[in-house]
Amino acid sequence: MADPLLAAAIPPPNDEPLLFTKTGFNPTVDDVIEVRRVLTGLGVGNHTLPMEIALMIISLASYHPRISSANMSEAIYRADQFWRPGPDASVAELYLAATTLPVSHSIARAMSITFQMKGADQGWADNGGEGTYFNSHTWYEASILRPRSQAASVAALTGPDVRNFRTPPEARDHLEGQGWDMVEDNGAVVWRVHNNVTASHEYRHYKVDWVAGVPTEVGDPRAMGDGEGFLELLRPNDVIVLWARAEEQAWVNKTRGATIEIEYEVL
């Protein structure tokens, strides 16, 4: 039985390919600094455009550097890959990685991040929740990886030889061996992004926006996470990774695409 309180929040089935939400010219940090210099030079004598107004113009024009990454490959992740008596089953696959701007945190900082996922589960459930987020055991979550050595390679993170893991924390030793540290927040190394609708074989398009300094409105915590503290922890050369997850016996996460877009404020 559908949950009437959540019906409006559940996206309809969608077979259209994912597109980046931000398009058009993508300025560099130097571009923004130059435009800011030109704007603050407008005027006559001492009567020039104040920096505050220049920053407002840049913000209204959305003239911000951004990093975008996408994976449109189709994949199926089965929790039973790591089944053990109980029964207990879980799987985590690093589906997408996005680099960050390699500039000092004092020059530019991440102001927002947008995740998009197209996913579905196995299409049935024994314990209800069909068409809602109740009893959902397939989802997506994000981690921040920080290079700890020159051996760290972004390409190796999502290459054809990447292993699946039972959970992201259990990937930690493997990632450290590749030159990466998993950034912690109060002992956790993942942030929940969004769940799939329960017991629906139809693919749906999920979109999540986190904005630095602005609390995320979460209508249903079973559906998505608030990203608290995520953007504030980002540093130059960090890599953001998106995990595709499934847990409980017979649950399957079917993924048909994902994007990550990070927008920066030049300070």
Instruction: Examine residue 170 and state whether it is found in any structural domain, yes or no.
Output: yes
SS3 assignment, position 8: helix
Instruction: Examine residue 124 and state whether it is found in any structural domain, yes or no.
Output: yes
Indicate the pLDDT class of residue 70, thresholds 50, 70 and 90. very high
- For residue 142, give both structure tokens: 């994000």
Q: Which of 157, 186, 152, 182 has its CA nearest to residue 169?
A: 182
Instruction: Examine residue 23 and state whether it is found in any structural domain, yes or no.
Output: yes
Determine what percent of the chain is predicted with pLDDT higher than 90.
85
Instruction: Examine residue 40 and state whether it is found in any structural domain, yes or no.
Output: no
Q: How far apart are CA 257 and CA 239, in angstroms?
A: 19
Q: Which of 77, 115, 105, 71 has its CA nearest to residue 93?
A: 77
The string of pLDDT tens digits covering residues 137-191 is 999 999 999 999 888 999 888 877 677 999 999 999 999 999 999 999 999 999 9
With a cut of 60, say whether residue 130 has pLDDT above it: yes
Q: Provide the residue range defining the domain that includes 221.
A: 7-27+64-266
With a cut of 60, say whether residue 38 has pLDDT above it: yes
Instruction: Examine residue 100 and state whether it is found in any structural domain, yes or no.
Output: yes
Indicate the pLDDT class of residue 9, thresholds 50, 70 and 90. low
Specify the number of domains making up the chain. 1
Instruction: Examine residue 57 and state whether it is found in any structural domain, yes or no.
Output: no
pTM for this entry: 0.93
Angle at which helices 51-60 and 29-40 pack, to 10 degrees? Answer: 130
Instruction: Examine residue 80 and state whether it is found in any structural domain, yes or no.
Output: yes
Instruction: Examine residue 115 and state whether it is found in any structural domain, yes or no.
Output: yes
* pLDDT for 224: 96
With a cut of 90, say whether residue 134 has pLDDT above it: yes
